């Protein structure tokens, strides 16, 4: 009996030691594609048999392709790094690529991920309408696709969508302007200008739509005035979310409508890169009192602007939270189950309603940034000085 017990214990220890050695990962730099590990499909199993009683322990390996749009914006660097870290910790091989905001590059990177044996793809698209053909290849090989933060449009190959509640992002920005200007208790009128993101990014429409659902009643009532007259999405969109594009447009608006000292009370900016462009234009050409400026992502430069009263708020989307949720989804899928979702109605990509998991955003401003950004460990105080 003692010999049999020892044999069982020894076999168990050997099995655990073998399991602990599984899993490796590789990454790549902007614009390149890494081949990753040759661990093969998730269906491959590594088995360890015990001589005592014929007991068997199994573990599965998998390769995850993560396609990010660019390294030019701080948030995508953080998203990619968090995703890679979480997936590695979960034992998966990782192919992480950044596409330099070039659609053709991203398509090629995704093709390479498919051909190198990735078992699942996580894609933050540059243009949500431009991946249909390459995702057809993924569908042919039964590779699940999780659209990350940006919904991939017009493709039935999209399995799930993971993001923050994009409409809520906009509503929080609109509510911040409403509450800061006390629109429900003062007569106004107040001057406002509108800046949103790239027209090819479906999220920009949700951000803008959420904000305008809050602000439009005040615009219709004349309490908010858009002196430029630019209120339609196509008029206020910013190509590539680029700071320089937002700055150029804001320069023209200031020159035409505010150069004589007319007060600008608020600027709705859908994210931090556009807010930075607006701030640059105001610093160069605007002579009135500083307006309320919204943003999103809590980039370091913008948080510094908040602390210096040059930006009022920024929506905080903790990419660590989203990365953890995506890893949970990946894990469920690669183990043969269904990913957790909390929305099965909202996000129609033109072909299907994509089951989604929506994380809730919050906003940070000068009053709460320490709790939201510092105490949470997202930034260190020295990074914001």
DSSP secondary structure letters along 158-205: --EEEEE-HHHHHHHHHHHHHHHTTTTT----EEEEEE---TT-HHHH
pTM of the entire predicted model: 0.76
Question: What's the rounded Cα separation, in Å, for the pair 264 and 282?
Answer: 10
Q: Check: CB of residue 277 under 8 Å from CB of residue 245.
A: yes
Nearest Cα residue to 105 out of 30, 197, 202: 30
Phi-psi region of 141 (alpha: psi -120 to 50; beta: other; left: phi over 0): alpha
Question: What's the rounded Cα separation, in Å, for the pair 143 and 136?
Answer: 10
Which tens digits make up the pLDDT trace of 324-359?
999 999 999 999 999 999 999 999 999 999 999 999
Q: Can you read off the two tokens belonging to residue 286?
A: 């605007």
Confidence bin at 143 (pLDDT 50/70/90) = very high
Which tens digits make up the pLDDT trace of 177-228?
999 999 999 999 999 999 999 998 989 999 999 999 999 999 999 999 999 9
Residue 380: is its pLDDT beyond 50? yes
**Domains of the chain by start residue, with CATH:** 25-47+60-158+318-360 (3.40.50.2300), 166-317+364-384 (3.40.50.2300)
Which tens digits make up the pLDDT trace of 32-48?
434 333 333 333 333 33
Q: What pLDDT, on a 0 to 100 scale, did the predictor assign at position 178? A: 98
Total Cβ atoms within 10 A of residue 227: 14
Averaged confidence pLDDT in the chain: 87
């Amino acid at each position: 009996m003692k010999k049999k017990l020892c044999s069982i214990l020894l076999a168990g220890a050997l099995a655990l030691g073998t399991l602990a050695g599984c899993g490796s990962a590789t990454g790549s730099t902007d614009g390149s594609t890494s081949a990753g590990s040759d661990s093969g499909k998730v269906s491959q199993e590594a088995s360890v048999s015990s001589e005592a009683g014929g007991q068997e322990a199994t573990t599965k390996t998998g390769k995850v392709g993560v396609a990010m749009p660019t390294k030019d914006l701080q948030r995508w660097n953080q998203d990619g790094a968090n995703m890679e870290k979480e997936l590695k910790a979960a034992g998966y091989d990782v192919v992480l690529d950044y596409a330099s905001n070039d659609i053709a590059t991203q398509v090629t990177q995704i093709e390479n991920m498919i051909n190198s044996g990735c078992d699942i793809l996580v894609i933050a698209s540059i243009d949500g309408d431009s991946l249909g053909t390459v995702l057809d290849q993924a569908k042919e090989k039964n590779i699940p696709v999780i659209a990350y933060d940006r919904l991939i449009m017009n493709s039935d190959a999209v399995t799930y969508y993971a993001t923050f509640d994009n409409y809520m992002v906009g509503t929080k920005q609109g509510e911040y302007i409403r509450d800061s200007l006390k629109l429900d208790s003062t007569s106004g009128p107040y001057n406002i200008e509108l800046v949103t993101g790239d027209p090819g990014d479906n999220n920009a429409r949700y951000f803008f739509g959420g904000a305008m659902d809050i602000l439009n009643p005040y615009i219709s009532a004349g309490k908010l005035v858009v002196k430029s007259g630019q209120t339609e999405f196509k008029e206020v969109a910013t190509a590539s979310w680029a700071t320089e594009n937002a700055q150029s447009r804001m320069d023209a608006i200031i020159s035409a409508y505010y150069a004589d000292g007319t007060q600008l009370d608020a600027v709705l900016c859908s994210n931090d890169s556009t807010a930075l462009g607006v701030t640059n234009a105001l610093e160069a050409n605007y002579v009135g009192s500083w307006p309320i400026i919204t943003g999103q992502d809590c980039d370091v430069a913008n948080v510094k602007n908040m602390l210096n009263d040059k930006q009022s708020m920024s929506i905080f989307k903790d990419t660590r939270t989203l990365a953890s949720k995506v890893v949970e989804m990946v894990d469920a899928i690669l183990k043969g189950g269904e990913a957790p979702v909390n929305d099965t109605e909202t996000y129609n990509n033109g072909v299907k309603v994509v089951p989604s998991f929506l994380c809730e955003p919050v906003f940070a401003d000068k009053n709460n940034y320490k709790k939201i950004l510092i105490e949470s460990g997202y930034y260190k105080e020295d990074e914001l000085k």
